[in-house]
């Protein structure tokens, strides 16, 4: 190994290095241009591969959250479909019907209320009023007659 | 045991990046990688050309090495890039030589190949530098340069690698050892033997 420090060897190394470096510096423009293109192509390809890897990584990162959201949404939609036809009518009209059926007076009252609220029931109410007037006057007349007779 | 441990460390240093390292890769300054590649590409091309004795193959090897470095090792510290790059380049050169050998064997069996190409042995006339009258090409056509290239190409691969990395690329023994995937002692041995052989073969050109 001592030959490395031998002046002749050192000189040989210097000359070979000089020769090789000169050949590197003297590369034709065509080769230098192709090397530049190769470098750019390598960097672009690597950037493209990196971008696609990032997209894939993004997909992998957001996939569980997306799946969970979709599952929750599906559960809500299915539950909503089952509950929608039952809720409004069952809670209001069904409950009232049961109460009315359980209480006859309430049923009659409700029917009267319905008739009163109805437009035609006003005439009936007048008729009832006339009837009551007639009944009172008839009773009075009969009373008078009986007293008088 | 020490050699085995060294081999393990060397192998680990060449493993591709894991997902956690990819985060560093995305944040890495692409400009510094481009500057690094621009700084080594010409010497890398000459080293590949000396080994392959073919311009297009050398360009392919350099581009492949660049791509592999950027794709897999850009997240590593910049001081590791050079040994990694030259190690990848040597692998690319070896792959290309292997492919050539297989192609040559297949072609020699084909009846229409005629065997005029024989094997993949480099044709000195084909490998001669372009005789365009520019100073750069003039330097390449220099007889001494040709003799040096031929002598380097005739060296065993490990000796040639040690010589060009130390002599042309100017890497120290430790970096050369990392690039070659061997111990520093092996680098010194390969380099010493390469020097001896080259001096013996090129003596007439240097006298």
Show me where the domains of chain B are located: 1-123, 128-207
Phi, psi of B199 (to 5 degrees): -65, -40
Q: Which of B41, B39, B48 is nearest to B149 (CA)?
A: B48
Q: What is the dihedral of CA B17, B20, B22, B23, to 10 degrees?
A: -150
Q: What is the dihedral of CA A91, A93, A96, A98, to 10 degrees?
A: -90
Distance CA A92, CA A101 (A): 15
Phi, psi of A31 (to 5 degrees): -65, -45
Q: Is B69 exposed, middle or buried (0-12, 13-18, 19+ CB in 10 A)?
A: buried
Distance CA B128, CA B16 (A): 38
Q: What is the dihedral of CA B186, B187, B188, B192, to 10 degrees?
A: 100
pLDDT in tens, A76-129: 888 877 665 545 554 445 555 666 566 666 666 666 666 655 655 566 667 778
Distance CA B53, CA B70 (A): 26
- The token pair at A90 is 């069952």
* Interchain proximity A21–B168, CB inside 8 Å: yes
- Give the list of residues 6+ apart from residue B7 with CB closer than 8 angstroms, or none: B181
Q: In which band, very low, low, confident or very high, does the pLDDT at B105 lie, cut at 50, 70 and 90?
A: confident
- The token pair at B69 is 């470095």
Under DSSP, the state recorded for B132 is -
* Helical residues (DSSP H) of A84-120, grouped into ranges: 87-89, 95-102, 104-117
pLDDT in tens, B157-190: 999 999 999 999 999 999 999 999 999 999 999 9
Is residue B193 within 8 A of residue B100, CB to CB? The reply is no
CATH number listed for the domain at residues B128-207 = 1.10.10.10
Interface probe for B, chosen from A18, A25, A37, A46 (most Cβ of B below 10 Å), is A46
Q: In which band, very low, low, confident or very high, does the pLDDT at A144 lie, cut at 50, 70 and 90?
A: confident
> How much is the pTM?
0.59
- The token pair at A7 is 């002046």
* Interchain proximity A38–B192, CB inside 8 Å: no
Residues on chain B touching A19 (C-beta within 8 angstroms): 142, 144-145, 148
Is residue A107 within 8 A of residue A101, CB to CB? The reply is yes
Residues on chain B touching A47 (C-beta within 8 angstroms): 30
Q: Is the pLDDT of residue B1 over 50?
A: no
- The token pair at B81 is 């890039």
Is residue B60 within 8 A of residue B96, CB to CB? The reply is yes
Residues on chain A touching B193 (C-beta within 8 angstroms): none
* Interchain proximity B42–A45, CB inside 8 Å: no
- The token pair at B131 is 């005789």
């Amino acid at each position: 190994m001592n030959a490395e420090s031998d002046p002749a060897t050192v000189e040989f190394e210097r000359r070979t290095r000089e020769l090789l470096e000169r050949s590197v510096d003297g590369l034709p423009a065509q080769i230098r241009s192709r090397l530049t293109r190769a470098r750019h192509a390598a960097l672009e390809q690597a950037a493209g591969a990196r971008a696609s890897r990032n997209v894939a990584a993004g997909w992998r990162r957001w996939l569980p959250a997306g799946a969970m959201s979709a599952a929750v949404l599906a559960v809500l939609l299915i539950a909503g479909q089952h509950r929608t036809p039952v809720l409004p009518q069952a809670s209001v009209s069904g409950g009232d019907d049961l109460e009315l059926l359980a209480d006859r007076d309430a049923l009659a009252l409700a029917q009267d209320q319905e008739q009163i609220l109805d437009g035609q029931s006003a005439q009936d109410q007048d008729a009832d009023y006339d009837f009551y007037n007639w009944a009172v006057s008839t009773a009075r007349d009969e009373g008078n007659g009986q007293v008088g007779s | 045991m020490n050699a085995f441990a060294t081999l393990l460390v060397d192998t680990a240093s060449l493993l591709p990046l894991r997902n956690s390292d990819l985060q560093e890769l995305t944040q890495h300054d692409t400009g510094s990688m481009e500057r690094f590649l621009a700084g080594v590409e010409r010497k890398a091309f000459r080293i590949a050309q000396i080994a392959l004795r073919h311009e297009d193959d050398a360009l392919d090897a350099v581009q492949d090495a660049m791509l592999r470095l950027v794709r897999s090792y850009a997240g590593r510290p910049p001081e590791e890039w050079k040994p990694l790059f030259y190690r990848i380049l040597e692998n690319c050169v070896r792959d290309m030589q292997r492919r050539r050998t297989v192609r040559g064997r297949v072609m020699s069996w084909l009846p229409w190949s005629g065997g005029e190409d024989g094997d993949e042995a480099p044709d000195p006339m084909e490998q001669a530098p372009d005789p365009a009258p520019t100073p750069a090409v003039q330097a390449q056509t220099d007889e001494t340069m040709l003799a040096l290239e031929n002598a380097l190409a005739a060296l065993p691969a490990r000796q040639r690698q040690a010589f060009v990395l130390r002599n042309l690329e100017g890497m120290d023994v430790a970096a050369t050892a990392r690039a070659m995937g061997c111990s520093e002692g092996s680098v010194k041995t390969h380099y010493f033997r390469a020097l001896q052989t080259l001096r013996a073969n090129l003596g007439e050109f240097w006298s």
